[in-house]
Amino acid sequence: MLCFLSTRQATAKSPSHKILVVSPGRGAAITIAYELPFSVLQADGFAWRFRLEGELNAEDLTGCTLLILYRCRQARTIAFLRLARKKGIPILYELDDDLLAPPPDESWGEPYRNDFRWQIIETLLTEADLIKAGSPELAKRLKKRGFRAIYRPYPVKLLDLPTKKREEAPVFRVGYFGTPHHRKDIEAIFPALLRIDELFRERVQFEFVGCYPEGWSILKRVVIHPCVHDYFGFLKRLAALNWTVGLAPLRPTPFNKAKSDSKFRDYTAAAITGIYADLPPYRHTVRPGINGWLAGNHPAEWVERISEALLDAKKDKKLAVAREQVRRNNSPETVAAAWRGLYEKLKSKVSTDDILSIR
């Protein structure tokens, strides 16, 4: 039988709060959503364990005091959820994308457009005690659909400010990172990049990590960087690139409008000032001209914002404001405190429901 361990190592005293996190896969999202805040909570007797959704068995619930289902989508997980409820274990479903409205023009969304898969996710959302949404917009949508949902920010750990490299001639570095699923987002503003290339000529260099637009080789100066799959390694690599400005475009699709403000957190942690899509994910975070910039859907707006950002003598001040905001709202300690409150709320709810059912 697998046992619960604290984030770093087992302690002499057995933890009293044992959280089981279940997901279809493990990647950067799990590191961000759970490893960062729960590493803080281990000092308060919390421990967490991860299991792949496809490998669950009844013994996994032994000692569990909170079950978290992250983007789960298998029919067998419904039975697992119901078993947890029988044992009096509170259940939280975490959702950082609107999987009930997947993008119609992306192949990865095909499984989620299947009626059977959609029904499974809806059942899990309905039967969970609470849904933790990754953005205010997503929480609002879920509530309109009749689900019990709340929004809580995700954490990020700020890196030390890197030493800026001195160069013989000033070169502006315009960067973008993302998964291949976001290619259509960066391609939507590619005309803006071509125009910036014309305006700044040899003074600008474009850099892409993990995702790049078709036709990128037309740009005069361009670098394609390999992906770094370890999240903390990725942030360190991003900071070391010394980008002048980072881009975060999103097409104005219903799916994108419910996404989280992830690039604001990552760019800010890596000491990069960003230009963000003027959509709900960033409107509640970015204060234009104060901690970054917003740009609308038309490439002409991106030309204006990129030009403004490259020539702005006060980028460091904007970055400082953004980092203070992230330190205040997204530090692992702040998010850990929010998790502690959620945990207590869920435990209290389940206990109250048990008393009412006895009566």
Q: What does the pLDDT look like over 5-31, one tens digit per residue?
A: 444 444 445 788 999 999 999 999 999
- pLDDT at position 163: 72
Whole-prediction pTM: 0.91
Q: Which residues of the chain have pLDDT under 50?
A: 1-12, 168, 352, 354-359
- pLDDT at position 105: 82
CA distance 134 to 279: 15
Name, in order, each residue with C-beta under 8 angstroms of 13's C-beta and a sequence gap of 6 or more. 45
91: tokens are 């259940």
Give me the domains of the chain, ranges plus CATH numbers. Answer: 17-155+331-358 (3.40.50.2000), 172-329 (3.40.50.2000)
**DSSP H helices in the chain:** 28-30, 36-41, 75-86, 110-113, 115-127, 136-144, 183-188, 190-200, 231-240, 254-257, 262-269, 280-283, 299-311, 315-329, 332-358
pLDDT in tens, 149-181: 999 999 999 999 877 655 545 689 999 999 988
From the list 30, 36, 39, the residue with the least C-alpha distance to 8 is: 39
